[in-house]
Amino acid sequence: MRIAVLGAAAGGGFPQWNSNGRGCNRARAGDPQVRPRTQAGLAVSGDGDAWILINASPDLRQQIGQSAFLHPRDGLRSTPIAAVVLTGGDVDAIAGLLTLRERQAFDLFATKAVHDILAANPVFEVLNRQFVQRRQAELDRPMALPGGLAIELFAVPGKTPLYMETDDAPPIVVDGTTVGAAIVAAGRRAYFIPGCAAMTPALARRLEGADVVLFDGTLYADDEMVAGGLSPKTGRRMGHMSMSGPDGSMAAFEGLDVRRRIFVHINNSNPVLMEDSAEHARVVAAGWEVAHDGMEIIL
């Protein structure tokens, strides 16, 4: 199986359009230690021919442009993208669907909760239902997809998308609004979990023995946006585990049998995006990699 990281940044991308932060400015200036990143998404393939996108970020048009394996090959209109699988209803996971209009056939897989969000937003009807089949993914049930791989969605702790929040503190729920994706082919098992509010015992059991886990790397420290004067919200409040701390992802993965652990969906405030930072050194010392656009994993 081939896994291509189309985008490694969280919502907003890196640099984010309105951020005057140090990391963003270094990325804008072309500093080789601080690489720009587009918003999170993967392309996966079992045969290198048919590709499945996991999430459609607002940067999808640029990501396809930069990825020759996703370019049309046959006739006047075609695509090697056979399906799109969504792990949530956040803007950074769905807005790129609008790029995939133009009467092109593909299957769109999501949980009922996420399909309901799309159905409530008529702009997504631009994906002509004559061509784009909206298919409901059942949790915990592997779906055989073109190219010889299977994807299984499973609920992880998360919250309602930001633009649908109705009060100050939406509860963290495990209801299929936020899911992880298991990608399985030829006995290999990889996971993509770009948003996760907590490590549960069930999730830890699921990840045991994985070849690769690409995991929520939104913030390094839970209070990093509050301390930086960027937002009143902690990572926990945004539905994201942070990398550091006793409830953080580095601690949660200690002792788990996971061959490669890779942070993805990294927020522009996160100092690990600066490869010469102490925080970057700490995650590397803990056995983690920091995803970047164009990273390819072959299993």
Q: State the residues that interact with Mn ion by CB under 5 A.
A: 11, 90, 92
Residues 110-139 contacting ligand MLT, CB under 6 A? none
CA angle 273, 274, 280 (to 5 degrees): 80
What is the smallest separation between the CB atom of 215 and ligand MLT, expressed in angstroms? Answer: 13
Residues 82-101 contacting ligand MLT, CB under 6 A? 90-92
Q: Which residue has the tokens 């270094």?
A: 26
What is the smallest separation between the CB atom of 161 and ligand MLT, expressed in angstroms? Answer: 6
Integer Cα distance of 166 and 284 in angstroms: 38
What is the smallest separation between the CB atom of 239 and Mn ion, expressed in angstroms? Answer: 9
Q: Does 13 bind ligand MLT (CB under 6 A)?
A: no
What is the smallest separation between the CB atom of 10 and ligand MLT, expressed in angstroms? Answer: 6
> Using CB under 6 A as the criterion, what x/- string covers residues 277-296 for binding ligand MLT?
--------------------
Integer Cα distance of 44 and 299 in angstroms: 11
Q: 128: which residues sit within 8 A by CB, 6+ positions away? A: 101, 103
What is the smallest separation between the CB atom of 104 and Mn ion, expressed in angstroms? Answer: 25
What is the smallest separation between the CB atom of 131 and ligand MLT, expressed in angstroms? Answer: 27
Closer by beta carbon to ligand MLT, 57 or else 79: 57
Q: Minimal CB distance to ligand MLT: which residue?
A: 11
Q: Does 158 bind ligand MLT (CB under 6 A)?
A: no
- Binds 91, which of ligand MLT, Mn ion, none (CB < 5 to 8 A, cut-off by type)? ligand MLT
Q: Does 222 bind ligand MLT (CB under 6 A)?
A: no
Q: Provide the token pair at 48.
A: 């290198």
Q: Does 211 bind ligand MLT (CB under 6 A)?
A: no
Integer Cα distance of 102 and 131 in angstroms: 9
| Three-state secondary-structure class, residue 291 | coil
> Please, where are the H alpha helices in the chain?
22-28, 60-65, 91-94, 112-119, 201-207, 224-227, 249-253, 278-285
Q: Does 238 bind ligand MLT (CB under 6 A)?
A: yes
Q: Torsion angle, CA of 155/163/106/207, rounded to 10 degrees?
A: -20
Closer by beta carbon to ligand MLT, 10 or else 185: 10
Q: Does 149 bind ligand MLT (CB under 6 A)?
A: no
Closer by beta carbon to ligand MLT, 10 or else 264: 10
> Using CB under 6 A as the criterion, what x/- string covers residues 170-199 for binding ligand MLT?
-------------------------x----
CA atoms within 13 A on the CB side of 89: 23
Q: Torsion angle, CA of 253/281/278/229, rounded to 10 degrees?
A: -50
Integer Cα distance of 254 and 86 in angstroms: 28
List contacts with ligand MLT (CB under 6 A).
10-11, 90-92, 162, 195, 238-239
